[in-house]
Chains A and B, each alone.
Chain A
């Protein structure tokens, strides 16, 4: 059964029709990626799933539950957490306070173990836990943003452009972490412009073009597709 089911959603920014009848699914245990150029509607789709943007029509179901009209902060409580584009760590708060915020929906007793898990996974964050998040490097901020999201103990983790603005070596590192997270049982929905990296780790993928799903298939299928190679993988 699909963990997340997005059916024919339409999303507008004012009069701009940004997402036009997009449908996709994420099954439990998968890594699914949405790829496409800037402005294709990837982030908009993700923010609609998170409840930050309203869908004009269509349906979004998570674990069989209709998300229509559910406030964003409640959606997090259901186990659906997003790591937003551009990391958006709280730069005036310390690393540890950022992680605390990630655990906002959880009971006080559960936070400590999750914090230890996150520090195990990201030793760098432990070293810098008293430092203001704004003083971290881009890669460290991405780790913090991911660690912060993990603090909510998500069933489905949505990552929006985690590789954006990072040096190639850090991109590899971030993708390794995504694979590790997946191996530890987290289902992943990944939005990426770096199509090659995204397809290489994805079970399935959807290609978005001007607000519509243009293609879909397994990661390997799309990697082999002429159309995808030409448009997104540089020939």
Chain B
């Protein structure tokens, strides 16, 4: 039973990583850049939800929507102000800028909201489910997180396969120049990608803080790096890869904590990444299912 409990916790944490990893992988697929500020957008999402609930007293679900809206605008602004001027610049310049934006967001949050951790109240208003005489406990956060992850996965898959904008995103990710010759506005396609990724980051931030209820300006950085790892693990640029990578990473992390060592769990997670990349440099699903977005 404890094994099952750990597995559920792992899948739940992994679902959060997966939702974050989708943002990394979509932006990478379209703009061919690693947006290292993505993790900090998660933190902003958490804070917006926290503040709207605790100070303004809005209902949890409304706070989620506000948080998504704020992060969407933030993501699009970051792209416009920081990355767009660097289109065509060497990728190292873009990478350094992304790290700069990440520190900017962390410090801005510290200035605005202080550096002490806040206690986040879960946005999920249900009680845990006990099964097998209390031996197996499923938290409502787990259920909501895993369901959100599945819904997002299905929605994104349909979006990229069926809609005009989704197909345009795939076209841009494959060949920007040819996409322009089709009449596709590459800049607005990139903006839409950042908007979707950032809205997902808001959801991920709130789910993460609901399950692990502390919130500080650096809350997003570790999950951000792990989700990036998950995206690479699954095959960066691939939507199913981000999902698979995220969930596996979550399971590995929780199992390492439970059965090996809490202190070493992060080291184990990254060691697994190194191993996978040694054997399969393109990531788990990075080859045949190259549905890059």
- A72-B180, A92-B290 given; name 6 further pairs at CB < 8 Å: A50-B180, A50-B181, A52-B177, A101-B184, A104-B168, A105-B182
Most buried by A among B177, B180, B186, B290: B180
Chain A residues with CB under 8 Å of B180's CB are 50-52, 71-73
CB-CB nearest in chain B for A87: B178
Chain B residues with CB under 8 Å of A81's CB are 181
Known contacts: A88-B178, A93-B174. The answer to whether A73 contacts B168 by CB under 8 A is no
Considering only residues 136-194 of chain B, those with a C-beta below 8 Å from chain A are 164, 167-168, 170-171, 174-175, 177-186
Main secondary structure of the interface of B (DSSP, over half): helix
Give the B interface residue count (CB, 8 A): 20
Chain A residues with CB under 8 Å of B170's CB are 90, 92-93, 97
CB-CB nearest in chain B for A158: B181
Least Cβ distance of A90 to chain B in Å?
5
Least Cβ distance of B162 to chain A in Å?
10
Chain B residues with CB under 8 Å of A149's CB are 181
> B-contacting residues of A (Cβ < 8 Å)?
50-52, 71-74, 76-77, 81-82, 84, 88-93, 97, 100-102, 104-105, 148-149, 152
Chain A residues with CB under 8 Å of B167's CB are 93, 97, 100-101
Least Cβ distance of B20 to chain A in Å?
24
A90 lies within 8 A of B174 (CB): yes
**Contact of A101 (CB < 8 Å), options: B171, B177, B185, B292:** B171
* Alpha-carbon distance between A190 and B186 when the two chains are bound, in angstroms: 26
* Alpha-carbon distance between A82 and B185 when the two chains are bound, in angstroms: 16
* Alpha-carbon distance between A88 and B179 when the two chains are bound, in angstroms: 9
**Contact of A84 (CB < 8 Å), options: B164, B174, B178, B291:** B178
**Contact of A73 (CB < 8 Å), options: B164, B174, B185, B290:** B185
Query: What are some 7 contacts across the A-B interface (CB < 8 A)?
Result: A73-B182, A73-B185, A76-B183, A90-B170, A90-B175, A92-B292, A101-B168
